[in-house]
Amino acid sequence: MKIKLKLFATLQSGRFTEIELEVEAGADINFLLNKFNLKPKEVAIIFINGKHADYNTKLNEGDDIAFFPPIGGG
């Protein structure tokens, strides 16, 4: 099935901004983390189709996924 993954801020460094890819049925967010060598502590916020998701959320055909790093400030 085809999905779209967008990386934001520091997650883009040495990777990509947006990519469309094919994943097998049953894949979840953890699959994407492993595929792109991302650790859960690096990805603090996950959206699928504009709604919050977690690491075990299953992916569906046409999903639009966004990963954000932890946000800090002063």
Q: What is the pLDDT of residue 73?
A: 61
CATH number at residue 7: 3.10.20.30
Query: pLDDT at position 71, please?
Result: 83
73: in domain: no
Confidence check: pLDDT of 17 > 90: yes
H or E element that contains 52: strand 51-52
Contact assessment for residue 3 and residue 57, using Cβ atoms and an 8 Å cutoff: no
Residue 74 falls within a domain, yes or no? no
Which pTM does this prediction carry? 0.93
Q: Could you give the CA distance from residue 50 to residue 41 in angstroms, rounded to a whole number?
A: 21
Residue 35, in any domain of the structure: yes
Count structural domains, the chain. Answer: 1
19-61 pLDDT, tens per residue?
A: 999 999 999 999 999 999 999 999 999 999 999 999 999 999 9
Q: Would 7 be classed as within a structural domain?
A: yes
Residue range(s) defining the domain that contains residue 12: 2-68
| Tokens representing residue 24 in the block | 């097998």
Q: Looking at residue 19, what is its pLDDT?
A: 97
